[in-house]
Structure 1
Amino acid sequence: MATLAVEDVLRVNGCRRFAAALAAASPFASLADALLAARRIWLNEVDVNGWLEAFAAHPAIGTTSPSVSKWSKEEQSAAISTATDSTAQELAEWNARYRDKFGFVFMICASGRTAPEVLAELKRRYANRPIVELEGAAQEELKITELRLAKLFSSEAAAPTTSAEGHISQPDKAAGSSNRTRPPITTHVLDTALGSPASGIEVHLEMWKAVSSPPSFENKDFNGWTMLGSSITNNDGRSGQLMDIVDNVAPGFYRISFNTSKYAPSGFFPYVSIIFEIKKSQTTEHFHVPLLHSPFSFTTYRGS
């Protein structure tokens, strides 16, 4: 069981009402339970003022000030590392235009996104009506909240604290677990038509949030997935880190999706999604889920 204090949640989301409600809803038996509660509270119990309070806790995208939090720096690392001087200047200008129009900072879950991608999304959303953009920004804040909750759970797992201190309390590690050198879920993509790695493919890793209602052929709730991380495959066809390095991965259903439309625009499959289950007895194992792709076929397997 994991008990959250208000101070813990404020690191995740700057809305005090949200932090108080999520802390009050704990302890949580799993990360998935915490994510489910967070989504319910954010969308149903927090008002517009609470949303704006959370937005205000974020730096403008592309900011490199020393005051920016560690998590914000990690989330914006891909954007900052791919920004040229001209792109950084344009981002700053469009950030200012956006704030002048809408009254709050541009919200985007930037994990794994390059500076050109962020800038293009900023320009696209600038044309929105204020009410549409407010709702879109709230959805982006929820994605960030979910990512940070996953980081909070994993970062505290290796250093349990007492409940009297108000921090997360985690059970002892399962017997046989060991320190990993890579995340428990990884992937790579091979282009079988060319016989070479497939670079530049966007990859998303998600987890099913509704533990009591597992995904199935009959369950058409496509909103049941929670983003854990995203990346772009490199020249070797390997994705960057899609989740934190933890000894024990949470059991449940996962979905890894590949945006193959940009890589092979004339191909038959615009994207590929692979759903797999990690059982309670497998939480210390490694799961490598590669994609073998060609314009008109794909396959996968569990690798090592």
Structure 2
Amino acid sequence: MATLAVEDVLRVNGSRRFAAALAAASPFASLADALLAARRIWLNEVDVNGWLEAFAAHPAIGTTSPSVSKWSKEEQSAAISTATDSTAQELAEWNARYRDKFGFVFMICASGRTAPEVLAELKRRYANRPIVELEGAAQEELKITELRLAKLFSSEAAAPTTSAEGHISQPDKAAGSSNRTRPPITTHVLDTALGSPASGIEVHLEMWKAVSSPPSFENKDFNGWTMLGSSITNNDGRSGQLMDIVDNVAPGFYRISFNTSKYAPSGFFPYVSIIFEIKKSQTTEHFHVPLLHSPFSFTTYRGS
């Protein structure tokens, strides 16, 4: 059982109303229980002022000042590492235009997203009406909240320790340092019809949040997945970073989805989803789950 203090939750989400409500709803027997409570509170109990307070706790995307938190740096690492001088300048200009129009910082769950991806999404959403964009930003904040809650629970193989005061305490590694050199879950796509890497395919990585009710043929709850990250395959067919680099990946069910419709619009499969399970005994291992794709067939395997 994990009891969250308000200060724990404020690291996850900057809304004081959200933090107080989630802390009051604890203790939680599992990450899944905490995620379900967080979603309910954020969408049903936090008002617009609470949303805006949470938005204000985030730096503008691409910010690299020392005041930016370690979690924000981790989440923006792919964007920052792929930003050229011109892209960084354009991001800053569009961030300013966005704030002038909507009155709050551009919210996006940036984990695994490159600078060009983020910039393209910023430009696309800039055309939204304010009420539409406010709701979209709240959904992005929820994705970030879910990611950060997972970080609180993932330290020491998803077994948080409890302090004398009763709230979760995390070792320094939970803040971002790791003995790994790449994320625990990676993928690439090979076009078997051409015998070459498949570039330009959008990839999503998700985790099943309802641990007590695993995904199955009978379970049709399609809302049970939590987004961990997304990317687009490069010229070598490899995706960017889809999740944070941590020593111990949380056990559970994961899904990697590939948007093959844009890559092969005349193919038979509009998209491909691969679901796999990481067991408690495997949390320190690496999981490379590639897709071998052609217009009318696909296969996969667990690689290294």
Q: TM-score if structure 2 supplies the norm length?
A: 0.85
Cα deviation, residue 187, structure 1: 2.4
Cα deviation, residue 212, structure 1: 3.6
Which range moved further: 273-282 or 155-164?
155-164
8 A Cα contact 1:183 1:241, kept in partner: yes
Change (3 A) 1:172 1:120: closer
8 A Cα contact 2:154 2:250, kept in partner: no
8 A Cα contact 2:113 2:240, kept in partner: no
| Ranges in structure 2 where 5+ consecutive residues have no aligned partner | none
8 A Cα contact 2:111 2:228, kept in partner: no
Change (3 A) 1:5 1:298: same
Which residue of 2 is the match for residue 189 of structure 1? 189
| Ranges in structure 1 where 5+ consecutive residues have no aligned partner | none
CA–CA separation in structure 1 for the residues paired with 2:5 and 2:157? 15
CA–CA separation in structure 2 for the residues paired with 1:81 and 1:190? 25
Which residue of 1 is the match for residue 303 of structure 2? 303
8 A Cα contact 2:2 2:160, kept in partner: no
Change (3 A) 1:274 1:129: same
**Deviation string for 1:84-117 (max 9, x for gaps)?**
3333333222222221221111111122222222
Query: Matched residue of 1:173: which SS?
Result: helix
Q: CA RMSD in A?
A: 3.9
CA–CA separation in structure 2 for the residues paired with 1:179 and 1:114? 23
8 A Cα contact 2:176 2:245, kept in partner: no
Change (3 A) 1:273 1:162: closer
Cα deviation, residue 160, structure 1: 6.0
CA–CA separation in structure 1 for the residues paired with 2:173 and 2:62? 38
Which range moved further: 227-236 or 69-78?
227-236
**Deviation string for 1:64-87 (max 9, x for gaps)?**
222112222222222223333333
Change (3 A) 1:18 1:157: farther
Q: TM-score if structure 1 supplies the norm length?
A: 0.85
8 A Cα contact 1:2 1:169, kept in partner: no
**Deviation string for 1:162-182 (max 9, x for gaps)?**
422454268999999997665
Cα deviation, residue 128, structure 1: 1.7
Query: Matched residue of 2:173: which SS?
Result: coil
CA–CA separation in structure 2 for the residues paired with 1:45 and 1:101? 26
The number of aligned residues is: 304
CA–CA separation in structure 1 for the residues paired with 2:280 and 2:47? 37
Which range moved further: 154-163 or 104-113?
154-163
Which range moved further: 51-60 or 265-274?
265-274
